[in-house]
Amino acid sequence: MSGIGRTCRRQLRPLASALRNTRDRALGGACAVLLYHRVIDLHTDPQLLAVKPLHFDAHLALLKKRYRVLTVEEFDHHLLGRKRFPRRSVLITFDDGYADNHYAARPLLEKHGAQALFYIASGYIGSGREYWWDELERLLLLNEHLPERMAFAMDRVRIAWSAEAGDLRRQAQLAYADQLNVMRGLPAGKRERALDELRTILGPQAQRRSHLPMTVDELKQFTASPSVEIGAHTQWHPSLAQVDEAEQHMEVSGSKKDLEQLLGREVKYFSYPFGTGADFNTVSERIAREAGFLHTAANYPGFVHARSPLHRFPRFLVRDWDEAEFARRMEGFMRP
Ligand SMILES: [Zn+2]
């Protein structure tokens, strides 16, 4: 292929994508699946996962006024039945299983008569422990007593700093950013061993109550609400594409079994941890399908239509936007 041909194709790509979207929308309608994580007011939020309760309340009011908020059953009817989605339809989803989903998100969903699909990382439920990325934040970013010298190496986790090399906080911040990437690719056993060791070196600090996952009792009460539908999100939240097939299988099927045992009901839905194209692969898709999940959510922007792939449909990530910003973003999501 010539250089000119390549340039021409590159220029045509946005046009081809727009045409595809227009065709899919004409045939399959469009549903914006929204991805939230937390509803809470936090002092520090390096991953930008938290939406303030005031803002979530405003989001729901706007969604109910201007959009068609689907129940999970309605979403299934259109996606699984390959039926055209209603105009301006929306599905609300949450990942991870933080306790604030029960104490803050659920009551607001109930107030507005809306339902959401909550994907839960089952290993953390009832553990009384922060999710691994939050623990890493606490150990490295919020630690008041960083040692003057650090030389840690275990599996692929490598953390080194020294007071002579400059500002300790700055070096710990860089280590945090690096190790987030490294740790997401480790199987749970190795990640836990590294965290155990880091906990010992960096000093005992209390778990933050604000960052805990739900307890078993909280999850049971939560699930009893008509505003809540439950899906699975692995046991220990790895980047599935970076671990081997046996580990993927254990994480995916294990989370389904864990939740079904806890709740005494079938769990039919799944979402990939992190969910970008680098975090799941065709093996993950097959494992999710074979585990018996009806559909699986990913995390890249795009709308869902009646022809969308069942085991990697897109979602729009929602940040802590005020009402005006959320309204603007929603209109952007709805445009092809
Ligand atoms: Zn997650």
Cα(13) to centroid(ligand 1), Å: 31
Among candidates 219, 234, 235, 231, which has minimal Cα distance to 268? 231
Cα(231) to centroid(ligand 1), Å: 12
DSSP code per residue over 52-73:
-HHHHHHHHHHHHHHSEEPPHH
- Residue 334's pLDDT is what? 83
Neighbours of 144 (CB within 10 A): 6
**Which runs of consecutive H residues, i.e. helices, occur in the chain?**
3-28, 53-66, 72-80, 99-100, 106-111, 132-140, 168-184, 188-202, 216-223, 245-263, 282-290, 323-334
Cα(121) to centroid(ligand 1), Å: 7
> What ranges do the domains of the chain cover?
30-128+212-334, 132-202
Cα(163) to centroid(ligand 1), Å: 35
The answer to whether residue 204 scores a pLDDT higher than 80 is no
Cα(8) to centroid(ligand 1), Å: 39
Cα(283) to centroid(ligand 1), Å: 19
The answer to whether residue 77 scores a pLDDT higher than 70 is yes
Cα(277) to centroid(ligand 1), Å: 14
Strand ranges, E, within 289-336: 295-297, 316-317
Mean pLDDT for the chain overall? 94
Cα(222) to centroid(ligand 1), Å: 18
Q: Cα–Cα distances in Å, from 157 out to 73, 181, 190, 192, 228?
A: 43, 10, 9, 11, 37
Q: Would you state the torsion angle of the CA atoms of residues 293, 212, 192, 194, taken in this order, to the nearest 10 degrees?
A: 140
Cα(22) to centroid(ligand 1), Å: 31
State the average pLDDT over residues 67-91. 96
The HSE-up count of residue 105 (CA atoms within 13 Å, CB side) is 29
Q: Per residue in 104-153, pLDDT tens?
A: 999 999 999 999 999 999 999 999 999 999 999 999 999 999 999 999 99
Cα(35) to centroid(ligand 1), Å: 10
Neighbours of 285 (CB within 10 A): 18
Sign of CA dihedral 164, 168, 172, 174: negative
Cα(235) to centroid(ligand 1), Å: 10
How far is the C-alpha of 153 from the C-alpha of 155, rounded, in Å?
A: 7
pLDDT band at 2 (very low <50, low <70, confident <90, very high): very low
Cα(233) to centroid(ligand 1), Å: 7
Higher pLDDT, 125 or 13: 125
Sequence letter at residue 304:
V
How far is the C-alpha of 110 from the C-alpha of 4, rounded, in Å?
A: 57
Cα(291) to centroid(ligand 1), Å: 19
Higher pLDDT, 12 or 279: 279
Cα(310) to centroid(ligand 1), Å: 19
- Residue 4's pLDDT is what? 52
> Which of 20-24, 28-32, 269-273 is the least confident region?
20-24
pLDDT band at 206 (very low <50, low <70, confident <90, very high): confident
pLDDT band at 73 (very low <50, low <70, confident <90, very high): very high
Among candidates 184, 199, 200, 197, which has minimal Cα distance to 154? 197
Cα(321) to centroid(ligand 1), Å: 20
For the 30-128+212-334 domain, the top CATH level (class) is: alpha beta
State the average pLDDT over residues 34-45. 95
Cα(200) to centroid(ligand 1), Å: 26
Cα(162) to centroid(ligand 1), Å: 33
Cα(234) to centroid(ligand 1), Å: 9
Beta bridge partners of 230: 118
Cα(271) to centroid(ligand 1), Å: 8
Cα(243) to centroid(ligand 1), Å: 16
High-pLDDT (> 90) share of the chain, %:
86
- Torsion angles phi and psi, residue 46, rounded to 5: -60, -25
Cα(90) to centroid(ligand 1), Å: 20
Q: Per residue in 294-313, pLDDT tens?
A: 999 999 999 999 999 999 99
Q: Per residue in 207-251, pLDDT tens?
A: 999 999 999 999 999 999 999 999 999 999 999 999 999 999 999
Contact 246, 283 (CB under 8 A): no
Cα(274) to centroid(ligand 1), Å: 5
- Residue 16's pLDDT is what? 79
State the average pLDDT over residues 2-9. 60
